[in-house]
Amino acid sequence: MRPHRLIQAFRLIQALRLIQVLRLIQVLRLIQGRPAVMPATLADLNEAPAAAFVAVLGAVFPHAPWIADATAAQRPFATVEALFTALRGAVEGASDARRRALLAPPPARIEPAASGLDRLSEADAARFAALEAAYRERFGHAFILCVERHGRASLLANVESRLAAPPEAERRTAEAELMRIAAIRISALVTGPGALSTTGRISTHVLDTVQGKPAAGVAVTLVECISETDSVVVARAVTNADGRTDGPLVHGRPVPRATYELRFGLGDHFRRIGPALGLALPEPPFLDVVPLRFGVDDPEGHYHVPLVATPWSYQTYRGS
């Protein structure tokens, strides 16, 4: 066999093995009740036959493998961002009928946990269902929103505001949301240089200015504020010796657009260290649980919200 034939055969075997491994991973994750995410390297996708390329990326836009198929011929891609740009270009260059089909209602019922709607209360879920039905009636296609980027209040406000939009403007908005969803899927499916920006962070640290050093052992709770009377706990942590939590309170995903509150157990901290420092602190303390309320409008941003405190005062700022 000629050398170039041997190389082609070797690459075909590699591609077939890649497909088999990815399918096995998908089956195992489904058995374990986990999302069927099949990570592949950009280098592997650049070398794989078109069929393998489509097998990995065909579900980025559900029921539209033609997008991945149209992109395969443009390889190799230097970065994951370049790959995503090519996929988006295939959509933008498609016929009007194909682009409208991408916005069609899904053929099967979407489970709340899969869509993010499990975050809604029973009353809000009923309200969302009514708004979505009105949306489909008005625009003739499904309401598309990258729900990972929205908190409960933002999700409902979004569908309400978009109901009043002109049809063509709303179609552009729906397509933009479809691209945000696709970007998150690409980030989960493909590793390589030039990754897309699809995740954000919320982090904090506590500085005790009485001691002039980081405050260790401070209980921290992060909550999403739904209304003045309704909130939901997002994360709990305790500060370490550096006055920081061991990891960001939110990371590895978009930070849903919402109003949040960080609650610091400052009173317990000074109760614990006060006697050794000779502090005569009142009971109840002047500052007990200190709340810091802040808003997130950039789901891919880094929100570092520190607390600088004494038993009688505190301040904060947006750090980095």
Helix (H, G, I), strand (E, B) or coil at 106: coil
Q: State the burial class of residue 60 (Cβ atoms within 10 Å of its Cβ: 0-12, 13-18, 19+).
A: buried
Cα angle value 165/169/173 (rounded, 5°): 95
Tell me the sheet residues that pair with 233.
Answer: 223
pLDDT tens-digit profile of 7-37?
555 454 454 455 454 444 443 343 333 444 5
Q: Which residue has the higher pLDDT, 105 or 6?
A: 105
pLDDT confidence of 39, banded at 50, 70, 90? confident
Task: Tell me the pLDDT of the chain averaged across its residues.
Answer: 87
Q: Which residue has the tokens 């696709």?
A: 182
Both tokens assigned to 68: 């991945």
Tell me the per-residue pLDDT of 101-137, one tens digit each, with 9 for 90 and over: 999 865 433 444 444 566 677 888 899 889 999 999 9
For the chain, where are the alpha helices, taking DSSP H only? 3-31, 42-47, 50-57, 66-72, 80-92, 96-101, 112-115, 122-139, 152-163, 167-189, 266-277
CATH class of 200-315: mainly beta
What is the predicted pLDDT for the residue at 227?
87
What is the per-residue pLDDT across 272-316, written as a single tens digit (0 to 9) for each? 999 988 888 999 999 999 999 999 999 999 999 999 999 999 999
The reply to whether CATH 3.40.50.720 applies to domain 1-198 is no
Specify the length of the chain in residues. 320
Tokens 């739904």 belong to residue: 226
pTM beyond 0.75: the answer is: yes
Q: Which residue has the tokens 């082609």?
A: 8
Residues 201-237, buried b or exposed e (16+ Cβ, 10 A)?
bbbbbbbbeeeeebbbebebbbbbbbeeeeeeebbeb
The shares of helix, strand and coil residues in the chain, as percent rounded to the nearest 5, are 45, 20, 35
DSSP state of 65: T
* Residue spans per domain, the chain: 1-198, 200-315
Please give the angle made by the CA atoms of 286, 288 and 293, to the nearest 5 degrees.
110
